[in-house]
Each structure stands twice: as structure tokens, then as C-alpha cells.
Amino acid sequence: MSNKLDEQLSKKSADEQALWSLRHTAEHVLHQAVKELYPDIQLAMGPATEEGFYFDFDASPEGKEPIVISEANFPKIEKKMREIIKKNWPLVRQEISPEEARALFADNPYKLEWINQIEARGEKVTVYWTGEPGRQGSMVDLCSGPHVATTGEVKAFKLLSVAGAYWHGDEKNKMLTRIYGTAFPTQEELEQYLFQLEEAKKRDHRKLGKELELFFIDDMVGKGLVMWLPNGTIVRDEVEKLAREMEKKAGYVRVVTPHIAKEELFLTSGHLPYYKDSMYPPMEMDDGTYYLKAMNCPHHHRIFLHKPRSYKELPLRLAEYGTCYRNELSGTLAGLLRVRALAMNDAHMYCRKDQIKEEFAGVLKLTMEYFKIFGLQDYWFRLSKWSPDHTEKYIDEPENWEYAENVLREVLQSMNVPFVEAEDEAAFYGPKVDVQFKSVIGREETMSTIQLDFAAKKRFGLSYVDKDGKENNEVFVIHRAPLSVHERFMAFLIEHFAGAFPLWMAPLQAVVIPISQDQQKYAEKLTQLLRAQNIRIENWDEAESMQNRIRKAETQKVPYMFIVGKTEESNETVSVRRRGKKSDGEWAVTQLLEKIKKEIEEKAQW
């Protein structure tokens, strides 16, 4: 077993390790089935994963006819897999010499390459037999394990998709055929996972972003650079407006900083040279070298330093929705989840040592208030600590480490929130609390991180004048972005709401649908009245049937439809239809306006 896999498995619970072993065995059953069905195919490699397993095949080995495998072949492959499972073959581990391994896999260049790498690392070469070693029908593969005892333990499995994948992920290498699958201990768990996959497809923010005209990414503009359309800009602006309002109440002051800065700033912060690969290339100007900023903190530190600070000014909370730029590889970009230009719900809090506890508690409260507004319930916190056994990774201030970790732990305990502790996972400049979140489709994500920084005070010379008139350089900085990167958070929200945003966020909050041409004037009067009250509303007076317009509103996920006919015009009322419901009754216009404004103001859940 490789050191990397050892480390991965050591961090898993017993149940997680058992599931990993089950999936690893399912992957072996897969490649044995494919090899039996397509003898000329060549086996490359495949692991178990957090979501299931996959295996890479060379479907066009040199001197052989190319083999095309698609999802249409899955029933045949799954049938063969069930035959292997039914035989209940044992998984037998053998430790062999590199020479024996090379003889065993002499006709497979992929296995030979792995053997060379294993030998170079000084690790043991192990193989697993599906069936008794050397027995007719058994199969062997280069593998570090672990596995379950027999193929018969693989009960519930499913092949999911097929894709192309370069060997080692390098486009200079040969394109292989990758088959993805998953396996669970029970059929019930498998069906639940498959349901979540289907739900994930429906809620995919890229799909909904296109259907609802929220955003797009244009190749001529550049990969990872999001173009917000009018609908998406409204949602984006509403989220930012919420952040501005809540931060103002919490005592933050807003700043705006440039998108670029001189090399000296990033050398001082320590981002150069260590973070250079993630920053865009330098721009040589007549007065020096400039970089696009990849983070806001160095700029904020300079704002703190632009004048002498008194202890009376602390804590100072500087907030900015600052756009940053990351030089991400094009192959890692994924819709809004990973981009190259990102707006961060960023703030830096400059405080004294005795203020850390209260400031950290304030950030946690603000974070949970956001989650309550958005209806996010499945979240917890992770206290990431330093390790005194690996001092080379961390700033050398043991007393501050002990003090800060105790303070953060006390805050989490006093607020009675769910949290776990993680050793040796802090930032180099201080402990942090990661906000972990499970999405509505069951995907675990790190929403944001709250970091305590010991290093900035020394790198930038941060200080304040204390109550005795003396200079004190014990300035602690808290980095926080509770709404994460704006683009990433928008992806979460689109998927969380499946594009059906609550009223206060919806790009189009209501439509007026006159039943006939006779109600056009009344419909337009109603539209203008509500629009004057800042309701995002349109009058849909198209010459198509009322039912077609209602279906259109449902498809566009409009929260309210106001149907007006002869009776409504006579009574100065509207028939209200809420998204997903047939009717919400007949309302007087003034009463309806009051209801809508209250829902928006209170940011009511839908």
C-alpha cells in the first residue's frame, strides 16, 4: 500500500474504510468483467473514490482493433460483473519482487510503469488475485488494497458513466477510456445515492444558469471568467446588499482597493514567491512590477497602516466585496464553483489579544444568521490546529498558538455549535475554523474559513498606541468571508433552491396575467403600481392563452402570478397564484402589496 493511501485510510472511520474496501473490490470486479468481454483491451489503473470507483482502460492498444465502450454496453458489463460476484471468489493478496511483477505484467506498459515507480519509492510490490492464484479463471492485478474478503460481498453496485481520461491526467499522454461506477453495502443506500445523482442533475447550477439566464462563460472572454446576465446580476446584487446591511449592523466599515498592486506588497505579505503559481504573470510597468491581486488582505493591512492607530479604534473591521484573480488551470475550472475572477465577501478584523474571543464569536453568529436566512441547516465547524511536532510548518509562537486555540475552542463550546478538531491542519500563521456544509444533494463542501493571523503584525509592522501611550505590536488579524467566494456561494444557492429563489432574491418577483385583452389597462395599472414600490414585476399581456403564460411563469420559477379578469377589475382585486400552487385566493391590491413588501423585508422562506 502506498504511503498516500495509508494516510488517506488512516483518517477514515471503520465504516468508511469498509466502504472503501467494498468499492475497491467492485472496481476489480469491473475490470475483470471488461477484460473477459473484451480480451484485447488493456488495463491501466483505477481506484476507489469518495463517491464510488473508476477504472481506466486502453481501448485501442497498439496492433489491435479499437474497442468502443459506451453506456449502451453497461447492461452487458454489469451482467458479467454479477456472474463474477456470484462465484464468490476470494481476494488474495501476494507480495512479490519487482522482477516477478515485471514478468507477470510483461505485456502491459501501464503496469510496468507503476512497478518502476513503486520500486523507486522503495515500497513493496503487491498484487491481488480475484480467485485462487494461478487457478483457471482467476485474474491478477497490481494493487495495494485493501479489499473485502470475497467478490460475493459486493451486493449493490451500478455503472454510472464513461469518459475519456489522459493517462496520469496529462494531455501529452494517450487518451484512455474511463468507466465510473459506485457501490454500497445495501440496495437501499445505492438507490438513495442514485436519487441524489438525479436530483443533482436537475439542480446543477450550470444547467439552471443557462435555463434561467443567470450567467454564462464566454470562450472569447476567457475560461473561468463569469458573465452575469441581468437575471443573475439581480440575485448577485441582492446577496451583496444583504451582506452590506448585516455588516453595517455588526460594526464593519467598507473599503475599496485596487485590482492590482506592486510586487513589493506581495513580497511583504509572503504571497510571493510561495503563492506565485496561483497568481497571474507580472506586468512590467515604468515604475515597477505589478500583479493582479489574488487576495485582499495585503491591501487592507496597508489601509490599517495609513495612519497611527489608537487602542480606542480596535477592533477595526474592514470589509470589501473585492474582486481577486487566481491563475487556475483551465482543466480545474467548474462553472461557478472554481473560477479565475472571484468576488470575495471579505473582511479583516484588527484586534487586541483580549478581543479575539468576542470578535470570533461575532463572526460565527453572523455566519449562522446568514445560514438561517438562506435556510441552510446541515452545517458544522472544524477547528484546525497546529502541531508542535511539525514546527517547520508554522509560525514559531507556541504561547499564541495555545492561547488562540483555547479561545476558539471556548467560543465554539460556549455557542453550543457542532464542531470537530483537526490536528496539524492550521494555516501557517494561525488556527482557523472551517465552516463545513452539506448541500441539499448530499455533497460536503467547505463553505468558508475564519482564520486567525499571527504573521501579519510582523510582516507589515502592525501596531497601535495602548492606553498608556506606548506602542503595542500585538495586533491580531481575523480573516473571514462567511459567504465564501461570491461565485461559489451563488452556485450553492442556485442548487439549494433549484433555481426557485425566495421572493426577495428572485430576478422577477411577479407577473400580471390578464385573462383577456379587455383587462389590459387594469393589468398595466397594477404593474405600474407595484413597480413604483420596487417590486420586480412584468405585465404578460402576450396574445397567448392564460394557461401557456402560467406554465411559462412556472418554468421561469416566478414566485407570484397575479391573474386579473373582469371580476378582479370590478373589485379592484387580483387572483393570486403562488409558484407551485394552484391558487392563493383573491386579494385586495393594497392588502397584497403589504403582504409582498413584508415577505421581502423579512426575507421569508419559500
**pLDDT tens-digit map of 212-232:** 999 999 999 999 999 999 999
Buried b (16+ CB within 10 A) or exposed e, 124-162: ebbbbbbbeeeeeeebbbbbbebbbebbebbebbbbbeb
| Cα 534 to Cα 529: distance, rounded to the nearest angstrom | 9
Please give the full DSSP string across 398-466, using - where no structure is assigned: HHHHHHHHHHHHHHHHHTT--EEEETT-SBTTB-EEEEEEE-TTS-EEEEEEEEEESSHHHHHT--EE-
Cβ contacts of 213 within 8 Å, gap of 6 or more: 229, 230, 231, 232
Q: Is 521 left (phi over 0), alpha (psi -120 to 50) or beta?
A: alpha
Q: Tell me, what DSSP letter sits at residue 485?
A: B
Minimum mean pLDDT range among 100-104, 131-135, 177-181, 311-315: 131-135
> Residue 42 pLDDT more than 50?
yes
Write down the residue that cell numbers 485462487 correspond to.
132
Give me the chain's average pLDDT, please.
92
Q: Is 487 left (phi over 0), alpha (psi -120 to 50) or beta?
A: alpha
* pLDDT attached to residue 3: 46
Minimum mean pLDDT range among 241-250, 430-439, 498-507: 430-439
- If we measure between CA atoms, which residue out of 166, 121, 114 comes closest to residue 142? 114
CA 172 to chain centre: 29
Q: What is the mean pLDDT of residues 521-549?
A: 94
φ/ψ of residue 475, rounded to 5? -100, 120
| Cα 301 to Cα 463: distance, rounded to the nearest angstrom | 11
The confidence band for 4, taking pLDDT boundaries of 50, 70 and 90, is very low
Q: Is 545 left (phi over 0), alpha (psi -120 to 50) or beta?
A: beta
- If we measure between CA atoms, which residue out of 340, 368, 389 comes closest to residue 433? 368
> Residue 188 pLDDT more than 80?
yes
Q: Do the Cβ atoms of 399 and 365 come closer than 8 Å?
A: no
> Residue 329 pLDDT more than 90?
no
Cell output for 338: 472554481
Q: What is the mean pLDDT of residues 404-428?
A: 90
The confidence band for 2, taking pLDDT boundaries of 50, 70 and 90, is very low
Q: Please tell me which residue, 558 or 542, carries the higher pLDDT value.
A: 558
In order of start, what are the domains of the chain with their CATH numbers? 3-195 (3.30.980.10), 211-257+296-496 (3.30.930.10), 510-602 (3.40.50.800)
Cell output for 248: 453595517
**pLDDT tens-digit map of 365-379:** 999 999 999 998 889
Minimum mean pLDDT range among 224-233, 387-396, 403-412: 387-396
* pLDDT attached to residue 279: 94
* pLDDT attached to residue 583: 86
- If we measure between CA atoms, which residue out of 455, 451, 504, 457 comes closest to residue 480? 451
> Residue 1 pLDDT more than 50?
no
| Cα 317 to Cα 478: distance, rounded to the nearest angstrom | 9
Cβ contacts of 293 within 8 Å, gap of 6 or more: 257, 258, 259, 260, 261, 299, 322, 324, 325
Q: How many CB atoms lie within 10 A of CB 332?
A: 9
**pLDDT tens-digit map of 99-158:** 999 999 999 999 999 999 999 999 999 999 988 887 777 889 999 889 999 999 999 999
**pLDDT tens-digit map of 6-27:** 444 455 578 889 999 999 999 9
* pLDDT attached to residue 294: 93
Q: Do the Cβ atoms of 562 and 535 come closer than 8 Å?
A: no
- Alpha helix ranges (H) inside 107-166: 109-120
* pLDDT attached to residue 186: 95
* pLDDT attached to residue 388: 84
Q: What's this model's pTM, rounded to 2 decimal places?
A: 0.82
Q: Please tell me which residue, 432 or 331, carries the higher pLDDT value.
A: 432
* pLDDT attached to residue 397: 83
Please give the full DSSP string across 187-201, using - where no structure is assigned: HHHHHHHHHHHHHHH
**pLDDT tens-digit map of 264-285:** 999 999 899 888 999 999 999 9
**pLDDT tens-digit map of 441-482:** 777 888 888 999 988 999 999 999 999 999 999 999 999 999
